[in-house]
Structure 1
């Protein structure tokens, strides 16, 4: 009996050690960290990315194998009460210090991201630092993205990355043996749509977790009165604060996922890809130097969490509550303008949907068809239809401010629904072209 127990324990130890090992001989860890937004109201995305850098650097991944993309308009912003310092939680440490500025400003684009990810050094030789993920068949690659999102879309400051472009890059890297294992963490609204029903089932050794399912918003958190903005995002701070305190040589990806899923209570944290990778240690991707070093208390990020699209409203509301009587009038004017913007977006989308229903005569009662489109949440499958409509909408209704207007992003599901319900893209685009002024967004 004792022999059986000893053998069982020995087998468990051997199995565990298999996952504790670093990458194979000659293998390396690589990381790509991307904040896809700009402006002070989006402070949290760059704060998230900077915090992630500190974790990876502290755990032994050298700067030459960490690529950072961020607009870099926060640390020295005129609104920053602590110039040159960025924090990711209330009274937290500076996470901006020593962060590499590999690609900033106009270099933060989907094209740069895809070239960096796929190791195309020639493609970025005139941009930023020129660093790319030069990974090979024995390497572990970690990618973390934080910004706005929509069905099948991750937003960048002026452009967007499509689900097809992302998955094509993953397929290409798999075919070229550019990784042994690759892990994505994605912080964005509707981020599950980047993998759900689109990640090919034959892609092995790829694992992703997302802040939200394909149909819901992700959440901002940690409102800071001094800075007048949100410092982090719930999913992101949950995984990073876990990495700060855990022994990453022992904790598995699956354990971290479960912790983050349980602690992110207002959106559904999802996982995709090769589930067996969840048995690997977090250290295999985030670095291997010792145990966590943070035992300091942090508040529950869910307490003040707000949906991404409502961040600007809550920033203004918090300013209003702390303002003097003489300041309140101007702040209320900004709130009213923001509400007019939200209404203009909704009116534009509803007008397009109604016009489409009338043109195509799907129903003798266009209102019934319109209600079905507005109230459904269908999975995104017909990419050609959807992206054709999206690009036409972006061009014809430029006042919507796509892809950085979160109100507009939140309403794109209606175009997914029309495609999935069989509405011809040409008819929808015709309705867009005949929507007068696309209802001015203020």
Structure 2
């Protein structure tokens, strides 16, 4: 029986093959002769905004080729927001082009559904010819009959199981397919062809669209694949564009979409009466995927539904070609080759637009600034939604399996989700707690679908979404010094506290380390008050006294970060009890040296230990993102070559690994450094009220809108100010995960308050620094010199100041000589200095063996005396002794010899 059936099948296909070739005619020509129905078209651009230029350009081009094919306006229904042709950014007002050399495709396009009328409800009712359900627009619907052919083309952003509309609800795959089923059940068409351009467009039909509806679908991409924009930007050496770049005035936008351009340019050049939809599929699929293997861009065009429909001629849906298309954009030769334009995946077109706008704007212009702010904001939101979804997956399925479950792709032929009502509901739940999914964020609908498929209850989805997307801001602020001459460090920390407090952080989430010997110091001319700028108000009032005096130490600092309350000795016991979604800001102002920062007792915090603590914090999964600002000399050496990427930690340091940092608002003006209006009040002469990098970032935080300004934007401004006068400045550096820097300042410091009582500058003063700056290691000398200078002649005060100044100078000279002698003894007179002062290249840590460095510092101090804030600059020399392989015995012997006199 099976054998007879197979014989019949073979006979039938042979008969069909003979029939197909009778008199050189295709089967589609025969079928088209029999069909006398009307051709209808629905064209939808599902986006708005200038950066989405291409979608409306695609739809306008599609209209022109259908119109040229003989379709009447009464049978072409157009959905487009219509904010492109007359957009203020359009360099050709009233004109839209879809190809670098194309003519206007906008002229004559019917304006059926515009603006807010472009929505899912109207789209469905147009297909179903339900005129009573239409709200707004022309009211035109698909009044098709049983013999008619319908062509639907939809171009837009999408996501797994969804395509977007400019307003209203998303178009979900099951709803769209149900509408198509209803249309079929109404008996109001003969055949229907649907072309869809969107990311993951295959997911709108895979496993959902049954055969037997006389519907053929072609999608731009597979269910788990991006679609691509084309004719984008301008050529680069890596992506030269050849002749297919947009005109220069269109830089930053894409004129079309890769798949859409492919089928339309094919329709422009092929004989539609002789060529089939299936033939177009083959050519378009080839062009759209041509560069996947070697160029990294493109997608796999996919077919669904009744493939037999695709053997119809193109003319059956698009009408016939005419020789004089005013919108023609290519000739037949150029179509068959792979695209030579620049292509950008659809979700990156917004970034291309903003990046190009920033790149092309004049230096220092508002336009450049606004583009950078917007770019940072977009990057931050993208990063945030990625992290939110990642956390949700970890909460629901565990850290090990969360990512795997969320990104799982079902096999071909299975729909995205089993329960579409669950998906719609869970998308809404997520958006309630985590914010509306953007064009970029909709890629995560697959993850939400997989949550439904895993059987997670709605109650659990709501609870975990709330947990995943709620976060607390924490801050740890450390002044690592003591003594009146170091006024600025505690002033910096107090100012930082006021910024956080004004930004909405609670005292329970701000942990302050400071010796607290400044506000009520006997030398303070304003008892109980600390200021951080010449015209600033008191920043000391209200500052929590969590860890003061000897409780400001490395042990407590590390245990606070790790939330190890049992390891704390003294202090308030407050620790960083942060959660997996929380943001942490750490600010440390102090003296330092290569690979070290100090505590008030003189105890050193070594770079290796600090980075290990940060790694442990990351391993504990008790934060989402962490930002660390460090103000010390050689502060870059605390992270360079040590802090790996992938910890979600962003670091900004006051200086390079081999560079001093500077105090600011120091002393009084001189003819060379006049100070203008930025000198401290006279009674504060001899000290610096702040540190240059620290004052720069804090005064920036005071005047900027922290919601719209990013950490990266602050880095640019602060780096510029701090290096404005390199005789008295430094190069601010970044380390770690720079993607974190695209987060807004508000994500770590809270929002800007209008009435900061601690504000010290206005926006005009920020961009320049007219104060006197002193390198941190010279602030002690500056204090003593000023004290000696201002003391009455012959006074005991003048004598004391001179004695102290001479003593400090003598000790500095002594440690310099000791280290020089040690180098000479170890490496010879010729090479000693060279070895000790050698600086490793960027990306290398200060030393290979940190235990060696700690040990050799102790050996040196045992023989030569404790390294002071000044003397710690020589830690580089000791590190180089370790790197040179000197044994501990030799180090001890030579240190004893170098320092004995």
What is the TM-score of this pair, normalised by structure 1? 0.89
Q: Is the 8 A contact 1:222 1:232 kept in 2?
A: yes
- Please name the residue that 1:183 is paired with: 193
CA distance in 1, matches of 2:109, 2:153: 15
- Please name the residue that 1:418 is paired with: 451
Cα gap change, 1:10/1:427 in structure 2, threshold over 3 Å: closer, same or farther? closer
* Farther off after superposition, 247-256 or 303-312: 303-312
- Please name the residue that 1:143 is paired with: 152
* Farther off after superposition, 23-32 or 66-75: 23-32
Cα gap change, 1:127/1:331 in structure 2, threshold over 3 Å: closer, same or farther? closer
- Please name the residue that 1:236 is paired with: 260
CA distance in 2, matches of 1:195, 1:264: 20
Higher relative contact order (CA 8 A, sep 6+): 1
Cα gap change, 1:82/1:172 in structure 2, threshold over 3 Å: closer, same or farther? same
* Farther off after superposition, 179-188 or 282-291: 282-291
CA distance in 2, matches of 1:287, 1:199: 26
CA distance in 2, matches of 1:15, 1:367: 63
- Match of residue 373, structure 1, among 405, 408, 411: 405
Shift of 1:61: 0.2
CA distance in 2, matches of 1:195, 1:66: 24
Cα gap change, 1:147/1:10 in structure 2, threshold over 3 Å: closer, same or farther? closer
Q: Residues 170-218 of structure 1, C-alpha deviation per residue, up to 9 Å, x if partnerless?
A: 11111111110000000001110111001123x3311000011111111
- Please name the residue that 1:389 is paired with: 426
CA distance in 1, matches of 2:376, 2:218: 37
- Match of residue 173, structure 2, among 145, 163, 166: 163
- Match of residue 272, structure 1, among 304, 326, 334: 304
- Please name the residue that 1:247 is paired with: 271
CA distance in 2, matches of 1:23, 1:129: 33
Shift of 1:348: 1.4
Cα gap change, 1:301/1:156 in structure 2, threshold over 3 Å: closer, same or farther? farther
Shift of 1:434: 3.4
1:428 aligns with 2:461: yes
- Please name the residue that 1:346 is paired with: 386
Shift of 1:292: 8.1
- Please name the residue that 1:58 is paired with: 68
Q: Is the 8 A contact 1:185 1:210 kept in 2?
A: yes
- Please name the residue that 1:117 is paired with: 127
Report the secondary structure of 1:434's partner residue.
helix
Q: Residues 343-387 of structure 1, C-alpha deviation per residue, up to 9 Å, x if partnerless?
A: 111111112222223xxxxxxxx1112132244223513223222
Shift of 1:310: 0.9
Q: Supply the RMSD in Å over aligned alpha carbons.
A: 2.5
Cα gap change, 1:123/1:385 in structure 2, threshold over 3 Å: closer, same or farther? closer
Report the secondary structure of 1:368's partner residue.
coil
- Please name the residue that 2:349 is paired with: 311
CA distance in 2, matches of 1:111, 1:280: 30
Report the secondary structure of 2:25's partner residue.
helix
Equivalent residues in 2 for 1:13-52, closer than 5 Å: 13=22, 16=25, 18-20=27-29, 22=32, 24=34, 26-52=36-62
- Match of residue 217, structure 1, among 204, 223, 226: 226
Q: Is the 8 A contact 2:268 2:321 kept in 1?
A: no
* Farther off after superposition, 13-22 or 405-414: 13-22
CA distance in 2, matches of 1:29, 1:435: 51
CA distance in 2, matches of 1:316, 1:12: 54
* Farther off after superposition, 222-231 or 99-108: 222-231
What is the TM-score of this pair, normalised by structure 2? 0.45
Q: Is the 8 A contact 1:187 1:218 kept in 2?
A: yes
Q: Unpaired runs of 5+ in structure 2?
A: 1-16, 233-245, 290-297, 472-580, 582-706, 708-742, 745-901
Cα gap change, 1:291/1:278 in structure 2, threshold over 3 Å: closer, same or farther? farther
Q: Residues 108-163 of structure 1, C-alpha deviation per residue, up to 9 Å, x if partnerless?
A: 00000000011112222x52111101111100000000001111111001221111
Specify the structure having the higher radius of gyration (Cα). Answer: 2
Shift of 1:43: 0.8
CA distance in 2, matches of 1:436, 1:65: 48
The alignment covers a number of residue pairs equal to: 422
1:285 aligns with 2:325: no
Cα gap change, 1:275/1:26 in structure 2, threshold over 3 Å: closer, same or farther? closer
Cα gap change, 1:377/1:292 in structure 2, threshold over 3 Å: closer, same or farther? farther
Cα gap change, 1:374/1:11 in structure 2, threshold over 3 Å: closer, same or farther? closer
Q: Is the 8 A contact 1:354 1:370 kept in 2?
A: yes
